[in-house]
Homo-oligomer: A and B are copies of this chain.
């Protein structure tokens, strides 16, 4: 069994942003040389998500609006009594998820027609990391 690991760094301009990171993950997969196995892609920070869905601008706004309606940034959170202001971001990240596991087949991400990997930032404007770990043969 082979394994390979790389970190991707991001710094968004806005507090909340959605970034399509599929090309970066594909590049890591090529680097790994692994043909059959799994790749794990996870946020290493706890106020951001990695998820898979469509790269359509309207949909990204729908996600933003849905999450902000359900868990408003300006809501009341006990976590913010610690001096933080990102209580909402910890909850938004749980709804969208921490990680994806993607099958690797013939050296490629084994995807359906519209699957794209996104990094969803809910408390950005600082350098944060995503882990890409590949295992297989």
Contact = CB atoms under 8 A, between A and B. Distances in A.
B81 A1 contact: no
Given A36-B135, A129-B112, A136-B3, A78 B105 contact: no
Best-buried of A40, A58, A80, A103 by chain B (most CB within 10 Å): A103
Interface residues of A, number: 59
Contacts of A53: 46, 90, 93-94
B38 A135 contact: yes
Given A63-B94, A97-B97, A110-B133, A46 B40 contact: no
A29 to B, nearest CB: 14
22 contacts: A1-B37, A3-B37, A5-B110, A45-B112, A46-B53, A46-B54, A51-B94, A51-B98, A54-B90, A58-B77, A59-B87, A62-B77, A62-B79, A62-B87, A62-B90, A66-B71, A97-B98, A98-B100, A99-B101, A110-B131, A112-B129, A135-B135
